[in-house]
C-alpha cells in the first residue's frame, strides 16, 4: 500500500473480538458489509445495522433500557423529548383524526399539538383531566389518542392513570403518557395499562444536563411504527448522546431517591414560610418524596425579580433536572407558548416559581431559597 492508502486501511479486515465491560460508542454514520449477499440480507431482515439514522447499537441500547425500566416490550430513542412525543403521536393519528389532551401539559408539548399538528390536519381538544366527565365529553367519533402527563408541569398534578386507561379502553383509544417528571423509579404507566410512555431523557434519565434525548416505550407494534417515524423524519439520536444517556441512567435510582427526599423536605419547609402563598408537591404519593420538582407561588408582596437575583449558588435555568438545584420561571420559559388566558386558568402566574431539586444537602437548598424570598421583600 502507498502511504495515502495505509493511513486509512489495513490489508485485512479487522475482526471485532474484544468484549468491553461497557458498551462501546459506535460513533459511525454507516456500517460495512462483507459482500452483496450480506447487504441484501439486511433488507431481508437478517442483519442488524445499515446506517445510523436507521439504527445503531447505542440508540438501541437506550430504547431497550427504558423499555425494561417501564416494564414494556419495546422502546425507541429519539433526538429529544418532543421528537419522541411526535413519533408516538404520529404512530397513532393521521390527518382527519382527533386527539384529546390534558390542558396542563408542558408548554412545548402544548404548542406541538395545538399549533404544529393542527397544520397537518390533526384535530386537538384540550380539557381538564381533573374531571373525567370533561375528558369523556371531548371524545369524538374520529378520536384516536388520549394524552397526558403522569405528573404535570409545572403545577405537579398527579394524573389518575387508572381513569385514563379506563376511558381509553372503553372508547378503543390509544393512551400516551409523558412520564418525564415521575421517571420509572416512581411510576410505570405501561404496567397500569397505558399503551405508550414517553420521556424527555434530557431530564432525569440522562440526569447530568449534558445531553438532549427522548425515549418512547410501550406496545411493540406501536413502538415499531414510532421508530419508523423517527427514521423517516430524521429525528434519530446520535450514538454518543445515546451512550451518555445510558451512562447517566445507571445512577437514576440513586439520584431520584436523594432528589425526591430533598424535594419532600424543601416543600415542607417552604410551606412554613409566610411569604409562600402556595406549595405544589404531591406529598400524598410517597412518604420519602414523589419526584424532584417543587413549585411555589409567592405572595403578591414578593418581588419575583428580586427573588431570582437572590438565589446565590442556585442557578437560573429554563429547564429542569440534573444533579444541581435550579430554578425557572414557567410563565416566561416552559409555558411561554401558552395563550395568556390559558396560563391564567391553570394558575401559572408571574408569582409561580418552579424549583428543580438537586442532590445537595437539603438544609443548604432550604437556606438559599429562604434567603432569596427574604430579598424579594425588599
pTM over 0.85: yes
Residue 7 forms part of a structural domain: no
Q: Residue 178: what pLDDT?
A: 98
The three three-digit cell numbers of residue 98, written as one number = 382527533
Residue 60 forms part of a structural domain: yes
Separation of alpha carbons 317 and 295, rounded Å: 14
Q: Residue 2: what pLDDT?
A: 79
Indicate whether 322 and 362 sit together in one domain: yes
Boundary of a domain, candidates 249, 270, 287: 249
Indicate whether 245 and 257 sit together in one domain: no
CATH of the domain at 237: 3.40.640.10
What is the number of domains present in the chain?
Answer: 2
Q: Residue 39: what pLDDT?
A: 93
Residue 140 forms part of a structural domain: yes
Residue 27 forms part of a structural domain: no
Indicate whether 68 and 212 sit together in one domain: yes
Q: Residue 180: what pLDDT?
A: 98
Residue ranges in the chain whose pLDDT is less than 50: none
Indicate whether 201 and 259 sit together in one domain: no
**Residue 348 domain boundaries:** 253-376
Give, in degrees to the nearest 5, the angle at Cα 327 between 324 and 331: 150
Indicate whether 58 and 201 sit together in one domain: yes
Indicate whether 182 and 328 sit together in one domain: no
Separation of alpha carbons 294 and 341, rounded Å: 24
Q: Residue 296: what pLDDT?
A: 98
Catalytic residues: 53, 106, 178, 203
Boundary of a domain, candidates 197, 218, 249: 249
Q: Residue 5: what pLDDT?
A: 77
Indicate whether 274 and 243 sit together in one domain: no
Please answer whether residues 263 and 283 qualify as being in contact, where contact means their C-beta atoms are separated by less than 8 angstroms: no
Indicate whether 203 and 81 sit together in one domain: yes
Amino acid at each position: 500500500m502507498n502511504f495515502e492508502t495505509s493511513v486509512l486501511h489495513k490489508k485485512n479486515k479487522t475482526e471485532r473480538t474484544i468484549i468491553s465491560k461497557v458498551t462501546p460508542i459506535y460513533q459511525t454514520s454507516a456500517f460495512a458489509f462483507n459482500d452483496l449477499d450480506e447487504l441484501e440480507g439486511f433488507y431481508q431482515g437478517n442483519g442488524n445495522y445499515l446506517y445510523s439514522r436507521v439504527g445503531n447499537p447505542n440508540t438501541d441500547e437506550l430504547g431497550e433500557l427504558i423499555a425494561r425500566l417501564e416494564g414494556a416490550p419495546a422502546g425507541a430513542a429519539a433526538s429529544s423529548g418532543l421528537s419522541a412525543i411526535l413519533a408516538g403521536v404520529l404512530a397513532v393519528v393521521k390527518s382527519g383524526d382527533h386527539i384529546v389532551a390534558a390542558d396542563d401539559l408542558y408548554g412545548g408539548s402544548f404548542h406541538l399539538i395545538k399549533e404544529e399538528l393542527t397544520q397537518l390536519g390533526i384535530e386537538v381538544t384540550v380539557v381538564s383531566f381533573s374531571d373525567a366527565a370533561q375528558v369523556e365529553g371531548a371524545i369524538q367519533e374520529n378520536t384516536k389518542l388520549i394524552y397526558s402527563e403522569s405528573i404535570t408541569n409545572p403545577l405537579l398534578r398527579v394524573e389518575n392513570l387508572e381513569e385514563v386507561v379506563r376511558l381509553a379502553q372503553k372508547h378503543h383509544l390509544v393512551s400516551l403518557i409523558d412520564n418525564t417528571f415521575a421517571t420509572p423509579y416512581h411510576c410505570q404507566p405501561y404496567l397500569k395499562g397505558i399503551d405508550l410512555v414517553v420521556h424527555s431523557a434530557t431530564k432525569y434519565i440522562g440526569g447530568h444536563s449534558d445531553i438532549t434525548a427522548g425515549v418512547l416505550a410501550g406496545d411493540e407494534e406501536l413502538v415499531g411504527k414510532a421508530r419508523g417515524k423517527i427514521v423517516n423524519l430524521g429525528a434519530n439520536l446520535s450514538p454518543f448522546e445515546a451512550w451518555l444517556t445510558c451512562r447517566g441512567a445507571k445512577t437514576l435510582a440513586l439520584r431520584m431517591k436523594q432528589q425526591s427526599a430533598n424535594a419532600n423536605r424543601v416543600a415542607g419547609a417552604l410551606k412554613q414560610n409566610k411569604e409562600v402563598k402556595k406549595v405544589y408537591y404531591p406529598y400524598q404519593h410517597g412518604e420519602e418524596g414523589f419526584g424532584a420538582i417543587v413549585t411555589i407561588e409567592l405572595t403578591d408582596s414578593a418581588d419575583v425579580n428580586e427573588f431570582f437575583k437572590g438565589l446565590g449558588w442556585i442557578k437560573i435555568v429554563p429547564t429542569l433536572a440534573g444533579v444541581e438545584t435550579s430554578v425557572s420561571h414557567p410563565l416566561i420559559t416552559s409555558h411561554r407558548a401558552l395563550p395568556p388566558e390559558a396560563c391564567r386558568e391553570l394558575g401559572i402566574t408571574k408569582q409561580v416559581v418552579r424549583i428543580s431539586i438537586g442532590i445537595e444537602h437539603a438544609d443548604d437548598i432550604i437556606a438559599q431559597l429562604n434567603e432569596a424570598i427574604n430579598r424579594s421583600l425588599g
